[in-house]
């Protein structure tokens, strides 16, 4: 791979921006790189703060797809990427498990352009999750599969993918998270957002399987309300979650401090200062592990089981009785809480450099 070879990256959500933030500048140094922003969640105008905070250059193209039903969104992304890709592109890189990931991979595949999948092989083994279907499809479309760990590699091998196409590179979020962590302060976050509590738990809720299922949404809200009687909760509220709560008239307690969506800088600062974090996000599970913050997963399964097996994170589900029982135990047993903090996450840094080194050694066709 050299200066004359043309590569495209397709991204469209904030987690993708974060996880590709170390890879984009490295690729800019070695090839002709085109960055396409689909606008899956927000237009670039709203995602721009993430580009600024991560010192990323602006995308070359903005599709402005917006929030739509999954099928319509994937169709618009696929057609938009197909129309936008430069004619000389020899490789399309996608990340993760979003509709942008699938749409970008489908467009490239139909144009007979090889696809590289960053974060390949992750599996929750729950086909009811849209993300699970997306990641499986993209893995089987891709020519280069950059797996974050050995478990992910095994999943790919078990599905019959050629081992010569699989590369265990580490996790791209590690470098982004550590880099941002060096420049932020939990005290500054508390001061800026008026958080007076000496200790607090952070919470993030955004997945469709939570917001679109009334029973789960009510259970999560009830869990947070009960937990807030033991420890204050800081909740940056995703627009989809806010709409669902308002639609169903679900109220959160006085000690659940609701914030508007925040940038990556403030999120990492908030996470650094948290006693624990509640989340249904895969990315937050990893960021919590990197920063040694005990993570309670508000789901019945996770694609990041290694950290659960290590005792770093706990799957608590959404039933209020179970969630509050576990939280009470952790708050009363400081030894266990400290043990969770000290467990290694197992996440490996240097993934972006590893990916670039592999691409340098490849002759793109």
Q: Is there a contact between 261 and 239 (Cβ–Cβ < 8 Å)?
A: yes
Q: With contact defined as beta carbons under 8 Å apart, do 141 and 153 qualify?
A: no
User: Is there a catalytic annotation at residue 37?
Assistant: no
Please give the biggest Cα pair distance in the chain: 61
Distance CA 339, CA 226 (A): 24
Measured CA angle at 341 (ends 23, 131), to 5 deg: 45
Burial class (CB in 10 A: 0-12, 13-18, 19+), 27: buried
DSSP one-letter code for 200: E
Q: What is the DSSP letter of 156?
A: H
Q: Spell out the residues 6+ positions from residue 121 whose beta carbon is closer than 8 angstroms to its own.
A: 139, 145, 147, 148, 151, 152, 153, 154, 155, 156, 166
Catalytic residue among 155, 206, 238, 257: 206
Assign residue 156 a region: left if phi > 0, alpha if psi is -120 to 50, beta otherwise? alpha
Sheet strands (E) in the chain: 6-11, 32-37, 61-62, 89-95, 115-118, 144-147, 166-168, 200-204, 232-236, 256-259, 276-279, 295-297, 313-315
- What is the three-class DSSP state of 171? coil
Q: What is the set of active-site residues?
A: 206
């Amino acid at each position: 791979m050299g200066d004359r070879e043309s590569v495209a990256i397709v991204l469209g959500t904030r987690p993708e921006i974060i996880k590709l933030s170390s890879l984009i500048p490295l690729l800019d140094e070695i090839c002709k790189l085109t960055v396409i922003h689909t606008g899956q969640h927000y237009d670039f105008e709203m995602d721009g703060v993430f580009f600024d905070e991560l010192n990323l250059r602006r995308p070359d193209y903005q599709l402005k797809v917006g929030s739509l039903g999954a099928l319509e969104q994937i169709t618009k992304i696929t057609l938009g990427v197909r129309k936008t890709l430069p004619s000389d592109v020899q490789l399309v890189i996608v990340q993760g498990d979003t509709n942008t990931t699938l749409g970008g991979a489908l467009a490239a595949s139909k144009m007979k352009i090889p696809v590289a999948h960053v974060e390949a092989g992750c599996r929750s083994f729950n086909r009811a999750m849209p993300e699970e279907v997306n990641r499986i499809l993209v893995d089987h479309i891709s020519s280069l599969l950059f797996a974050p760990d050995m478990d992910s590699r095994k999943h790919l091998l078990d599905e019959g993918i050629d081992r010569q196409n699989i590369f265990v590179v580490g996790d791209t979020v590690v470098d982004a998270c550590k880099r941002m962590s060096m420049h932020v302060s939990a005290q500054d976050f508390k001061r800026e957002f008026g958080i007076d509590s000496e200790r607090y738990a952070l919470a993030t809720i955004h997945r469709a399987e939570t917001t679109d299922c009334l029973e789960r949404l009510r259970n999560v809200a009830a869990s947070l309300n009960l937990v807030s009687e033991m420890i204050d909760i800081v909740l940056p509220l995703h627009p989809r979650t806010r709409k669902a709560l308002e639609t169903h008239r679900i109220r959160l307690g006085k000690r659940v401090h609701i914030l508007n969506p925040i940038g990556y800088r403030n999120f990492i600062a908030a996470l650094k200062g948290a006693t624990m974090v509640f989340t249904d996000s895969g990315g937050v599970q990893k960021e919590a592990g990197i920063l040694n913050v005990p993570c309670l997963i508000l789901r019945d399964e996770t694609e990041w089981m290694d950290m659960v097996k290590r005792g770093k994170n706990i799957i608590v589900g959404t039933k209020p009785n179970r969630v509050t029982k576990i939280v009470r135990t952790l708050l009363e047993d400081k030894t266990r809480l400290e043990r969770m903090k000290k467990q290694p996450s197992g996440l490996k840094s240097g993934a972006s450099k590893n990916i670039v080194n592999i691409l340098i050694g490849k002759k793109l066709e």
